[in-house]
A and B are shown apart, each in its own frame.
Chain A
């Protein structure tokens, strides 16, 4: 995304990199201190989500509904931040500024592909009974018989269809 810093000078803005914008562009101008504060707030929330996800690195632990509710709560917070961006009466809280120091290995995409192949993995398997084993064996025998008979008409006529 193209962006440039600038400074307010006599009720106009002097951009540091005015070459990025065309003359017909519609521009949005934020105070940089407020905007970086807002940005750091969202980064903090996303880091929180990755902290919940860090549980997944230990394969013996599984997620439950509370984890999902926590993630949902953080998503609601992001939504609130997005709504407050264009609220004129909402003043930024400068008491703290979050700088992400999280190890990037926690932010890597890790996929076990269960989500994609869920319906294949969860497919139900029937029990294998002796009767099924017998039918399977006889199918193989039938196939072998057909191969052995080849294309000779006499032997083909002798094959009975079992079912």
Chain B
């Protein structure tokens, strides 16, 4: 599908790829962060169902499906909520997910203090 990123400036929005959209075409605008969350929510539920299905084929236990079916339907329910939230102005259900941001710091083992060799902390040159 044709899609472009954009940046708001006042009432107008500047496009990164204006050549993809036709003139006088109606568009839907989402914030990228929220769209990513909802998209991730849907794909996560699909992944869960896929993994469960693969585990069943390895063990070949038909009777277990009676128990796992409600679990799968619960996932489908969450998936449906995610899909419906594309056209609702309420806050997304995906916001309830805990997300810990991994802020890795740059290691300070070899800090670059000076390019020139022989310059000490006070900036004096040792000849």
Contacts and interface: CB of A to CB of B under 8 A. Distances in A.
Contacts of A71: 49, 53, 72
A3 B89 contact: yes
A31 B1 contact: yes
A95 interface: no
A2 B34 contact: yes
Interface size class of B (residues with CB under 8 A): 35 or more
Contacts, number: 226
Contact of A13 (B1, B27, B85, B88): B27
A29 B3 contact: yes
Nearest to B20: A88
Contact of A7 (B24, B56, B62): B24
A15 B73 contact: no
Interface string B15-53: 100101111111111111111001100110010011001
A33 B26 contact: yes
A9 interface: yes
Nearest to B6: A27
Interface string A72-105: 1001101100101111101010000000000000
B1 A34 contact: yes
B5 interface: yes
Contact of A26 (B12, B27, B33, B90): B33
B66 interface: yes
A147 interface: no
Given A11-B18, A92-B1, A21 B39 contact: no
Contacts of B18: 8, 11-12
Contact of A27 (B8, B24, B72): B8
Interface of B: 1-15, 18, 20-35, 38-39, 42-43, 46, 49-50, 53, 56, 62, 65-74, 76-77, 79-80, 83, 85-92
Across chains A and B, which 4 residue pairs bring their CB atoms closest together, nearest first?
A11-B18, A26-B32, A13-B13, A27-B6
